[in-house]
Structure 1
């Protein structure tokens, strides 16, 4: 079963000097691959869910249906959480920019985007309360839609921790999308 949200499109791996190498710009895409911390955490959660599903089968065979149903529900919740964690990140299309979080997604049309730029600031380490000095890709809204948005990408997130080249490439790509579509 293909999981299109797990990998970025292969067009970003080409050596061509094209900032936005897509034919279908209407489709939402993540312009980078999920990082090893995010994929590893999701893999561990999926491994845990397999054990819980096995426990549900064992519980069902022993005759307690309510216990088996509870184990099955827990396994489904863990699987849904792992898939949602893999979906987190910044997605772009010709319609706008979407920041997908675990519980909340924020979408800004390109008309609402004032600027997208990389700044040096304290950032959260792996999403935890601890902050460290790093880089962040921030979105500043234009016009009446002004408001605070959390950083789109940071150098210390689960996607870019210890991968500064990947952060630079992803930030440049998102900035290129913003620059092209703000001109329209």
Structure 2
């Protein structure tokens, strides 16, 4: 079963060949990088836990208690759903704009409202926890309106100990911004 949110439709092979925006369909939302090993490991553990919970739900259903069966099914589906949502989080780009998918909130901004996308040195959160360390962050400055949150950091679950992957992802998002910010009238 293909999981389209884990791949980028061969874009990484095209990126290695030197293309800046390697996607065939720029109108579709794409994540310009692969999910990192920390994010995938946590999601795999959650899916493993969810499968054990579903097995327990089947055993409870065989015992004949309807309330326990419904509670187990809801809890296991919540764990599986949160694992899938965790894999979906990140920065997505298309010809339409920039999308930051969080665990609970997704925010899309059209390119016409994005002023500048750049990499800066600043304190960043380590694996999304309250602890901050000095690192790199990809930020987007708006052309008026509410300030945008940090898009990517080199200490996130996608890029921890993978600075080359962070540089490639930040460069790709900056290339999308450069391509489509100039195409849209200010």
What's the TM-score once normalised by structure 2's chain length? Answer: 0.95
Q: For residues 52-101 of structure 1, give each alpha carbon's deviation from its aligned partner in whole angstroms, at most 9, with x where no partner exists.
A: 00110111111111101100110000011000000000000000000000
Instruction: Determine the structure 2 residue equivalent to 1:182.
Output: 181
Instruction: Determine the structure 2 residue equivalent to 1:103.
Output: 104
Distance in 1 (alpha carbons) for counterparts of 2:105 and 2:88: 12
Moved more, 4-13 or 120-129: 4-13
Structure 1, unaligned runs of 5 or more: none
- Tell me if the contact between 1:9 and 1:31 (Cα under 8 Å) persists in the aligned partners: no
Distance in 2 (alpha carbons) for counterparts of 1:166 and 1:29: 16
Instruction: Determine the structure 1 residue equivalent to 2:153.
Output: 154
1:121 and 2:122 are equivalent in the alignment: yes
Q: How many aligned positions are there? A: 182
SS in 1 for 2:121: strand
Moved more, 147-156 or 36-45: 147-156
Q: For residues 119-140 of structure 1, give each alpha carbon's deviation from its aligned partner in whole angstroms, at most 9, with x where no partner exists.
A: 0000000100000000000000
Instruction: Determine the structure 2 residue equivalent to 1:20.
Output: 21
Structure 2, unaligned runs of 5 or more: none
Instruction: Determine the structure 2 residue equivalent to 1:77.
Output: 78
Instruction: Determine the structure 2 residue equivalent to 1:35.
Output: 36
Cα deviation, residue 18, structure 1: 1.3
User: RMSD of the TM alignment (CA)?
Assistant: 0.9
Distance in 2 (alpha carbons) for counterparts of 1:22 and 1:67: 47
Distance in 1 (alpha carbons) for counterparts of 2:83 and 2:123: 27
* 1:126-137 equivalence runs, <5 A: 126-137=127-138
What's the TM-score once normalised by structure 1's chain length? Answer: 0.96
Distance in 2 (alpha carbons) for counterparts of 1:7 and 1:125: 25
